[in-house]
Amino acid sequence: MNSKSESLFREAQSLLPGGVNSPVRAFRGVGGDPLFIDRAQGCYLYDVDGRRYIDYIGSWGPMVLGHGHDAVLAAISDAVSRGVSYGAPSAPEVKLAREVVNRVPSIDKIRFVNSGTEAVMSAVRLARAATGRNKIIKFSGCYHGHADSMLVSAGSGVATMGLPDSPGVTEGAAADTLIAPYNDLDAVRQIAADAGDGLAAIIVEPVAGNMGVVCPVDGFLQGLRDLATGCGALLIFDEVMTGFRLSRSGAQGVYDVTPDLTTLGKIIGGGLPVGAYGGRADLMEMVAPQGPVYQAGTLSGNPLAMAAGLATLLQLNDGAYERLENNSRRLQEGIVTSLSTHGIRGTVQRAGSMLTLFFGRESVRDFEESKACDRERFAKFFHAMLKRGVHLPPSSMEAWFVSTAHDDQVIDETIAAVGESLKECAQ
């Protein structure tokens, strides 16, 4: 007997490449077929066959308040009643901009776009224009969206597909992208020295989430700051994942390092498609129409998306971050205890409400170490968890996202499922 998910997936495969609109959703990293989701509420996903799952994908980051939060839905409904898009300025753009500028000290001015990819692409263009230089240093295993120049050594989505690079990215587009290992300041210094005065920017996930969660080692981010300043390049923090998740001002607030430009996405749209880039006024004033660096968007600053983003940010007060921290720490501790109970080698790396269980290693500090983890065991573990009603991200190299809707009881249920699942895949 076929489930509704199975028949939908079969039809989807005849219409969409791989049956999906974004590769990781297709379960290639863990095997099997993806579930089709019918609705989501709080910390739960409900599939088209009527089964309920505790959700740790959180739409890959945006759903920090859980699904269907009252305040967010009310803001979207109110916006809908005024029409869905104008192509002319509207108040919600100013309100969300004000909120972001208030929260993130390094951002004086901001431009809204429609995705994280677009944010990064635009920030890189701006950095090149501002410095009159071409080269960009990015880190192996960091993902900055799928713009050509960033699709080099780009982490989980690409890596679990077994594609180190993508066909279709020209040598020219990739040639100015220099790759450094994450958390290795000496290597970055060497690469920057080799680039001479051609280096426009260093772009980094200040806490890496796209090779699984890898935190910066002490001094790494400050070292990048000093290096960029020293050679006249810009420092870009890609906070598409970490922005408003790790603190009111993102990872830069936690680590107290100030980038020149910041890219945002995910949470800033409250589940609707939004990205943004912002930073120092003198840089942002180079963007058209104030300056010559062209960048535009038919739906940019869309009133629905602005409303959803603003409503989400307004819920993210100190209490919310405390709750996220406490529940995530409890989950981490529960998994770690369970690993040792079952004698399974592994580690749980966590930054606030994003965490990754890596099998087969005691710590992971860069992409090479992430790739060296036991992906087969993760695949078994993933399916054991799914069977028990817990939907993890379907890849060993992704962050799990905890939301404010994951309460104590849900965390306990998850830890219980982890115990049973680890037992099942201990052999």
Q: In whole angstroms, how close is the CB of 319 to ligand PLP at the nearest point?
A: 25
Instruction: Tell me if 120 contacts ligand PLP by CB under 6 A.
Output: yes
3-state secondary structure of 167: coil
Instruction: Tell me if 243 contacts ligand PLP by CB under 6 A.
Output: no
Name the residue nearer to ligand PLP (CB basis): 259 or 275.
275
Q: In whole angstroms, how close is the CB of 308 to ligand PLP at the nearest point?
A: 14
Residues 6+ apart with CB under 8 A from 338: 415, 418, 419, 422
Instruction: Tell me if 238 contacts ligand PLP by CB under 6 A.
Output: yes
Instruction: Tell me if 210 contacts ligand PLP by CB under 6 A.
Output: yes
Instruction: Tell me if 205 contacts ligand PLP by CB under 6 A.
Output: yes
Centroid of chain to Cα 172 = 27
155-to-25, 165, 181, 209, 425 alpha-carbon distances in Å: 15, 10, 12, 9, 26
Q: Which of 135, 138, 266, 380 is catalytic?
A: 266
Name the residue nearer to ligand PLP (CB basis): 121 or 344.
121
Q: Which of 19, 23, 62, 209 binds ligand PLP (CB under 6 A)?
A: 209
Residues forming beta bridges with residue 178, ordered by sequence position: 137
Residues 138-177 as x/- pattern, contact with ligand PLP by CB under 6 A: -----xxx--------------------------------
Task: Report d(CA 251, CA 225) in Å as an integer.
Answer: 14
Instruction: Tell me if 115 contacts ligand PLP by CB under 6 A.
Output: yes
Q: Which of 5, 117, 349, 403 binds ligand PLP (CB under 6 A)?
A: 117
3-state secondary structure of 207: coil
Length of the chain: 427
Contact indicator for 120, 145 with CB cutoff of 8 Å:
yes
Q: In whole angstroms, how close is the CB of 337 to ligand PLP at the nearest point?
A: 29
Q: In whole angstroms, how close is the CB of 142 to ligand PLP at the nearest point?
A: 7
Contact indicator for 28, 161 with CB cutoff of 8 Å:
yes
Q: In whole angstroms, how close is the CB of 268 to ligand PLP at the nearest point?
A: 10
Name the residue nearer to ligand PLP (CB basis): 262 or 421.
262
Q: Which of 44, 56, 143, 321 is catalytic?
A: 143
31: left (phi over 0), alpha (psi -120 to 50) or beta: left
Q: In whole angstroms, how close is the CB of 321 to ligand PLP at the nearest point?
A: 19
Name the residue nearer to ligand PLP (CB basis): 79 or 213.
213
143 a catalytic residue: yes
Task: Report d(CA 230, CA 165) in Å as an integer.
Answer: 31
Q: Which residue is nearest to ligand PLP (CB)?
A: 116
> What is the gyration radius of the CA atoms in the chain, in angstroms?
21
Q: Which of 19, 66, 116, 243 binds ligand PLP (CB under 6 A)?
A: 116
Task: Report d(CA 395, CA 392) in Å as an integer.
Answer: 8
Task: Report d(CA 91, CA 255) in Å as an integer.
Answer: 33
Instruction: Tell me if 265 contacts ligand PLP by CB under 6 A.
Output: yes
Q: Which of 47, 55, 176, 238 is catalytic?
A: 238
266 a catalytic residue: yes
3-state secondary structure of 38: strand
138 a catalytic residue: no
Task: Report d(CA 420, CA 427) in Å as an integer.
Answer: 13
Name the residue nearer to ligand PLP (CB basis): 393 or 419.
393
Which residue's structure tokens are 């677009």? 118
Residues 6+ apart with CB under 8 A from 223: 185, 188
DSSP assignment letter at 71: H
Instruction: Tell me if 275 contacts ligand PLP by CB under 6 A.
Output: yes
Binding residues for ligand PLP, rule: CB under 6 A, are 115-117, 120, 143-145, 205, 209-210, 238, 240-241, 265, 275
Residues with a known catalytic role: 143, 238, 266
